[in-house]
Structure 1
Amino acid sequence: MVRTSSRLVVSLLCAIVLVVTGALAAAAHVVLRPGSATQGAFTKLTFHVPNEQDTSSTVKVKVVFPDARAELIPAAVAQTKTGWKIKINKVRLDEPVIVEGHEIWEVVRSITWTAVAGTAKIGPDQFDEVSVYGGPLPSVGKIYFKAYQYQSDGQVVAWDQIPSDSDPHPAHPAPALTLTPPSGGTAQKSGMVGAGFAGDTAVRLTAAAENTPAERDESPSMLAASLSVAILLAGGMGVGLLAGRRRWARTRGNDA
């Protein structure tokens, strides 16, 4: 009986190792938090950037915005980051996008954070975050932001693969944002939108970002959830095995 229980424990532990290993691999990706937002809204988006290299540091992070017309984000500003220089690259559209009656000719194409101080870097086995605040978010189901990590040894780690039917789980997926319709099924109305585009968009966006609490991702991360499950399973197996051994010991004592 004890031998059978031991085999079961070994099998379950192997399964747990696979779960946790998969979670660690996923945690090594550049991911976007929160992973979902409301269509038509302004929101803060934070990119979690882990460095999975053993001998080099991440010294530059570049985030590329969606460029399909239906996926454009008309305006965005970057959150300041101590020790990092920020460059916002904008492009002029062939035709303007209309937001609450205002023509928008220029949109953000990419934002780059470059370390300028000696300690401003993401070292091996470390992670950091970069954030943007923008909107209004497009009325589509999902958009992708391609991300690139520039390493101190010259290597560039690209997170720019878009899932497809032929490759639903690419090795280097681009950070994704799921967009849901606002309650009522119509585009969210915000006084910020019209006012923002009527004047200096960057200034008003910055003010809005400072006065609006950042959206928090209340759901546990994949890694934390997997580790919690692993701990609970391991604890349960330990209790079960101990109880089995006690029952086996009592049975042998009674037989004697």
Structure 2
Amino acid sequence: MRSLPARRSVTAVVLAAGAVLATAVPAFAHVTVQPNTAQQGGYTAVAFRVPDESATASTVKLEVTVPTDHPIASVSTQPVPGWSATVDKTPLTTPVKTDDGDSVTAAVSKITWTADATGKVGPGQFQEFKISFGPLPKDTDKLVFKALQTYDDGTVVRWIDEAKPGQPEPQHPAPTLTLTPAANAAPAAALNVAPTTTAAAKSDDGTARTLGVVGIVVGVVGAGLGAAGLRRRSGTPSA
């Protein structure tokens, strides 16, 4: 028979393991954006990955808020069978100039996907909602997309908490896209040097061939003159 301290130790271990699992499970059930990085200033395609974490209810709606403090002018959605998508825009108080000189007067503020009877995401399943959008802002290193996930039993999960540096991950973190500076243009400049180098190599090769041909001609001429001299000497009578 186990002693009381031994039973307490076993109970403590079980409770600790349960606590670890309780904190670990939600990490696999977050609504996320994939991939989670993109380059500033360009266009990109991403997917909002939505797992159904309910044991009994199905996901029937996803609302994603697009931040307007760093405006996105254009968004295209990829069709998802059984779902419809709508894109809302908000007028900007101050128009934004693009690199092409165009003036953006309205920015995308919200994308909503709604399921029909055939499109529900059931328990233990997930769905990806893909978009192509841009140009991405150059004045921030991330975009935070606050999202609402609605179940057919009326439950709404709010994925709106922003992670803070040095602090534990929140229970319902908002999908976040990290923006990185555009790649350095130096490699492209280096590529422009290649044709010049190749041309120089071709020029050197052509010169070498020309000199080779001249050398052969000179050799042939010299051989001919030598042969003629021998014939003349052989035809001269001895004294």
TM-score by length of 1: 0.61
Corresponding residue for residue 161 of structure 1 = 161
Corresponding residue for residue 36 of structure 2 = 35
Distance 1:63 1:185, change over 3 A: farther
Structure 1 distance, partners of 2:18, 2:185, is 43
Structure 2 distance, partners of 1:112, 1:177, is 18
Structure 2 distance, partners of 1:55, 1:23, is 20
Corresponding residue for residue 149 of structure 1 = 149
Does structure 1 retain, via aligned residues, the 8 Å contact 2:62–2:149?
A: yes
**Superposition CA RMSD, Å:** 2.5
Distance 1:37 1:124, change over 3 A: same
Runs of 4+ residues deviating >3 angstroms? 15-24, 165-168
Deviation of 1:28 (Å): 0.2
Q: Structure 1 residues 167-176 or 41-50, which shifts more?
A: 167-176
Deviation of 1:67 (Å): 2.2
Q: Counterpart of 1:183 in 2: which secondary structure?
A: coil
Q: Counterpart of 2:87 in 1: which secondary structure?
A: strand
TM-score by length of 2: 0.65
Structure 1 distance, partners of 2:124, 2:185, is 43
Letter aligned with residue 59 of structure 2: T
Deviation of 1:82 (Å): 1.4
Identity score, percent? 41
Q: Given the alignment of the two structures, is residue 107 of structure 1 paired with residue 72 of structure 2, yes or no?
A: no
Larger RCO, structure (CA 8 Å, separation 6 or more): 1
Structure 1: 5+ residue stretches without partners: 1-14, 187-256
Bigger-Rg structure (1/2): 2
Letter aligned with residue 112 of structure 1: T
Alignment map for 1:119-158 (pairs within 5 Å): 119-139=118-138, 140-158=140-158
Corresponding residue for residue 175 of structure 2 = 175
Q: Structure 1 residues 166-175 or 26-35, which shifts more?
A: 166-175
Deviation of 1:164 (Å): 2.5
Does structure 1 retain, via aligned residues, the 8 Å contact 2:68–2:108?
A: no
Letter aligned with residue 135 of structure 1: G
Structure 2 distance, partners of 1:185, 1:106, is 31
Structure 2 distance, partners of 1:161, 1:66, is 14
Aligned length: 170
Letter aligned with residue 66 of structure 1: P
